[in-house]
Amino acid sequence: MKLRDFVLRRIILAIPVIFGVLTITWFLSYVVGDPLAMYVTERTPDAAIPGIIRARGLDAPLVVQYFLYLTALFQGDWGVSTTTGADQPVLTVLARLFPATIELSIVAMSIAIVLGIPLGIISATRKDKAADHVTRVFALIGVSMPIFWFGLMLKYVLFYQLSVWDLPHLPGGDRYNFRAFGSWQPTTGFLLIDSLLFEHNPALFLDAVVHLIMPAFCLGYITLAIITRMMRSSMLEVIKEDYITLAKSKGLSERVVIYKHALRNALIPTVTVIGLAFGGLITGAVLTETIFNWPGLGRWATNSILNSDIAAINGFTLLVAFIFVIANFIVDMIYGVLDPRIRFG
Amino acid sequence: METDVQNNNGNETIAKLLSLIQIIFVMASLLFGGIIVLGNMAYTIQGWMGVSLEVPAFVSEWILQSLIILVLSFFLIRANQGVMERVSDAFGTSFYLYVFLTVVYATLGTIGLIFMILIVFQLLLIFIPGVRYYWFEEFVEDTKPRIKETRFTLHLIRKSPLVVVGILLISFMVMVAITAPWTTTYAGTTMVFDDVRLPPGSSSNDIKQNYEYLFEDTTLNPDIMPDYYYQQLTITQKYLETVEIPKLFIGVSELETGVDVVSVNITFRIYSLNVTDYEDMTVSQRQSYLYANASVVDESLLQYIELPDETGGYVWELQFTASQKTNAWSVNTRVVISYFSIFPVHIWGTDSYGGDIYSRIIWGAQEDLKIALSVVMVALSFGAIIGAASGYYGGKLDELVMRITDIFFAFPGLVLAMAIVMAIGVRSLETISIALMITWWPTYARLVRGQVLSEREKLYIEAARSSGASDSRILFSHILPNTIQPVIVQATMDIGSVLLVAAGLAFIGFGPPVGTAEWGMMIARGQNYILSAPWMTLYPGLAILVTALSFNLVGDGIRDILDPKLRRR
């Protein structure tokens, strides 16, 4: 199979999944929940409700409602969110908050990859030694730790305790120091990019970096643990292969064998895990952002839960599912490129 | 215009018809659920009564599941009423919900009943002397190699320190959860309002008022006149723990003498006497030891008497004297001692509502383990059945199931669970469990399907098929036992992750509004006080960490042990 056919096949396979996602969100909010809650807020006058029911087709048969829902979604009408104060279209809010979450997730992912892959290699090459045990327990703790608790503890130690002892400490929350810098004009929405390229304000950039450290590490730890474990087990498998023995018997140094021969092949399953973990990161962002007061999608979703803002949750679920599907798609692509056998499978 | 009216009329008839069907569905499903619950309870109680029936653990699991579904269905119906009131035309929206619920009930109910019948039948067989299980010899012969294999696995487990530690931790947590009533110092929902955010190890600022019922009766004997009660009351150090003096409350009210016109004299006395001395003395002799008394005629006697602040023996005496003998009379009588005691020490501090963290963590172990275990069990059984069928029969069924799981996999677990809880609209731990069950089953369906696919083509299955075994026999007694190991590993590790996600959901605010001791909610309660009262957050988080870690340790270790590539003799 050619690469183009492979890509096409994957795209065709993704379409039913996307429709399934739409159907599930529709089912949840229209069949199980109260469909009217999507479009009615506390500020809606009672007299307007019958009009909304008629306009939204809530009195129509279910099948018709389903198609109305799909049409509305494709036209960019994702309901009205009440969480941010004024009633705002969900899509607008999503677009505004999305960059903050993505920025946090990308930094977290970078931390996880940069630390996780070497840790996995160390653990695999020193199997059953002290370093291996330490790394394994470290990784196990990472997958067993409630991320929200970890965040709170980090905040307590690195922000509060250090400031009590008059030591330099990390900021306890927020995206940047609002008091020092005032508001900024989002161009791309990524503060790290905007502050350098558009605001020309290196101090703001540094401040943003300092604010990123704690939430990003908190968010990245689980992914770090997952990557380390995957890297370790795939490395262990690859090391046993014949071509590694061959490379060793050729007289190549351990370093060359591990980093040139084994690493490339061991990376393949790790790449999959990284792609899948990206979706998990956005989930984790829900909890991390709440704790670090990060103005992204996650905190907004949590607030909308407390406000019983169904439209917001629906929009958030849809967006996250789309990201997840796209991430899986990209992983499939990379997998296909890295391992040609998959394409012919 | 005319057509509109006609349409409306048509709609109304359909609406009536559908609501009738809805009612029938609800009744049917409630009936089914009721049968399961009652049947299970009867069976369990039979076990308690000492009929020496061993009640297997999953029996009570079935009770739990049925109860969860029953409770939830009530909430769902209530939520649906809200929809019906606001959108009267939307009669169809919750119709499918009832269909779904009924299907769930029917499945659970049938499985539960089959289990029950099988168990009862087999137990009966055991109790009839001379009857041997027809499959017994065959069974022993069949399982010999498997037993050998299991022994070897156990040997490997014993050799692996991490797994041993994990198993010990799991048993510890389970023990903690089971023994909660005896090891806790406070109830899970107790709030001592004077003890808000006390640091670990501090004693309580408040004192606790206790009541002890000495006497409680509503009927008196008309044959004994005067009707007469007395009882020893010993004031021990227990009643004098605080500076507050113990009080004896006497309440006699709602005197009914039937049709007769009688006047009743009610007298209450306390003597500084022991009961033996009291019995030896005559009425006039007792008078010199009288400590306090109260009496009324034809009225309610509602009064308290402060007892002395020292230890000693007393006798209280209650006497009803009627002006003439009557046939029937009744009166509501209570003698209650109220005393104050010191609250136990808050070992791990208190939270912002004055709840004791230590006790709440132990009660929370019950809640959290219950959620994690029930979610994994239900998801596992449902997913395994679907996955096995899909892998074994293949074809269109397989394709359909895999597409459905694809859709479920398109959501991250927490987000889908969030959406489900939000749609159900009831904030409770049961809703969280249900949402997680719905989220988790595809994992097992995929896993089991893959295992069954790889096992299906093997030679021994071919042999079984050619010797005429039926599909279900091949699937359940040949394929499934051989695919169970990775499933067990996955389930063990999933208990840890379900615990984390459930705690996360409770943390976000999906738990019940107040009170319930659950670890995630305890952390949520503590997060606003993280700087001033870090113990509110620290201990529940450690509990989650240790529990999840123990399951992960076991799962991780067992996976290595069961891996055929690493398993060398």
Average pLDDT, chain B: 76
**Looking at A212-221, A330-339, B279-288, B485-494, which range is the least confident one?**
A330-339
301-330 of A, contacting B, C-beta below 8 A: 301-302, 305-306, 308, 310, 313-314, 316-317, 320-321, 324-325, 328
What is the mean pLDDT of the segment spanning A293-315? Answer: 85
The residue with tokens 């829900």 is A286
* A-chain residues near B510 (CB < 8 A): 305
Partner B contacted by A156 (CB < 8 A): yes
pLDDT tens for B442-463 read 999 999 898 888 888 888 888 8
Tell me the nearest-neighbour CA distance from A325 into chain B, angstroms: 6
Q: In terms of pLDDT, which residue wins out, A280 or A342? A: A280
* B-chain residues near A18 (CB < 8 A): 410
pLDDT at position B487 over 80? yes
| ipTM confidence score | 0.88
Q: Inter-chain contact B415–A283, Cβ cutoff 8 Å? A: yes
What is the mean pLDDT of the segment spanning A139-153? Answer: 91
Nearest C-alpha in A relative to B417: A317
Say what the pLDDT of residue B4 is: 44
pLDDT at position A117 over 90? yes
pLDDT at position B140 over 70? no
Greatest mean pLDDT among A192-206, B73-87, B321-335: A192-206
pLDDT at position A202 over 70? yes
Give the pair of three-digit tokens for residue B548: 């999840």
Pairing of strands B207-219, A88-89: unpaired
Cα torsion at B83, B87, B91, B94 (round to 10°)?
-30
Give the pair of three-digit tokens for residue B544: 């989650």
Residue-range domain boundaries for chain A: 90-344
pLDDT at position B360 over 80? yes
pLDDT tens for B386-421 read 888 898 888 888 989 988 998 888 888 888 898 888
What is the mean pLDDT of the segment spanning B483-499? Answer: 88
Distance CA A149, CA B547 (A): 14
Partner B contacted by A288 (CB < 8 A): no
Say what the pLDDT of residue B550 is: 94
CA B339 to chain CA mean position, Å: 32
pTM attached to this predicted model = 0.75
Q: In terms of pLDDT, which residue wins out, A65 or B400? A: B400
pLDDT at position B381 over 90? no
* A-chain residues near B418 (CB < 8 A): 286, 301, 305, 313, 317
Q: Inter-chain contact B86–A145, Cβ cutoff 8 Å? A: no
Distance CA A162, CA A165 (A): 5
pLDDT tens for B26-43 read 555 555 555 555 555 555
| Residue B297 φ then ψ, to 5° | -120, 125
The partner residue sitting opposite A282, judged by closest CB among B93, B412, B548, is: B412
Say what the pLDDT of residue B89 is: 46
* 3-state SS class at B120: helix
Q: Inter-chain contact A305–B418, Cβ cutoff 8 Å? A: yes
**Looking at B134-143, B153-162, B200-209, B317-326, which range is the least confident one?**
B134-143
The partner residue sitting opposite A148, judged by closest CB among B79, B407, B504, is: B504
Q: In terms of pLDDT, which residue wins out, A320 or B69? A: A320
* Cβ(A315)–Cβ(A81) below 8 Å: yes
Tell me the nearest-neighbour CA distance from B112 into chain A, angstroms: 26
Partner B contacted by A138 (CB < 8 A): no
pLDDT band at B170 (very low <50, low <70, confident <90, very high): very high
Partner B contacted by A16 (CB < 8 A): yes
Partner A contacted by B399 (CB < 8 A): no
CA B255 to chain CA mean position, Å: 42
Q: Inter-chain contact A149–B419, Cβ cutoff 8 Å? A: no
Distance CA B81, CA A38 (A): 17
Q: What is the largest CA-CA distance in chain A?
A: 85
Alpha helices in B310-412 (DSSP H): 357-393, 395-409
Say what the pLDDT of residue B134 is: 44
* 3-state SS class at B317: strand
* A-chain residues near B86 (CB < 8 A): 34, 36, 49
pLDDT at position B49 over 70? no
pLDDT at position B78 over 80? no
Q: Inter-chain contact B523–A148, Cβ cutoff 8 Å? A: yes
Percent of chain B past pLDDT 70, that is, above it, reads 70
* Cβ(B376)–Cβ(B433) below 8 Å: no
pLDDT at position B439 over 60? yes
Nearest C-alpha in A relative to B534: A156
pLDDT tens for B328-348 read 677 888 888 888 888 888 889
Distance CA B448, CA B442 (A): 10
The partner residue sitting opposite A313, judged by closest CB among B93, B422, B520, is: B422
* B-chain residues near A59 (CB < 8 A): 87, 89-90
The partner residue sitting opposite A28, judged by closest CB among B413, B423, B544, is: B423
* B-chain residues near A144 (CB < 8 A): 496, 500, 545, 548-549, 551-552
Q: Is the dihedral of CA A328, A282, A295, A106 positive or negative?
A: negative
Say what the pLDDT of residue B500 is: 93
pLDDT at position B566 over 80? no
Q: Give every CB contact of residue A20 below 8 A, 6+ residues apart in sequence.
A: B403, B404, B406, B407, B410
Say what the pLDDT of residue B135 is: 46
CA angle (B22 as vertex; B16, B27 as ends), nearest 5:
130
pLDDT at position B519 over 90? yes
Q: Which residues pair with B269 in a beta bridge?
A: B293, B317
Which of A214, A231, A225 has the alpha carbon at shortest distance from A292?
A: A214
Tell me the nearest-neighbour CA distance from A45 into chain B, angstroms: 14
Percent of chain A past pLDDT 70, that is, above it, reads 96
pLDDT band at B51 (very low <50, low <70, confident <90, very high): very low
pLDDT tens for B226-247 read 567 888 888 888 888 888 888 8
pLDDT tens for A7-41 read 888 888 888 888 888 888 888 877 666 777 767 77
Nearest C-alpha in A relative to B7: A60
What is the mean pLDDT of the segment spanning B90-96? Answer: 49
The partner residue sitting opposite B544, judged by closest CB among A58, A149, A152, is: A149
pLDDT band at B368 (very low <50, low <70, confident <90, very high): very high
pLDDT at position B121 over 80? no
Partner A contacted by B533 (CB < 8 A): no
Which CATH superfamily does the domain covering A90-344 fall into?
Answer: MetI-like (1.10.3720.10)
pLDDT at position B250 over 50? yes
Three-state secondary structure readout of B500-527: HHHHHHHHHHHCCCCCCCCHHHHHHHHH
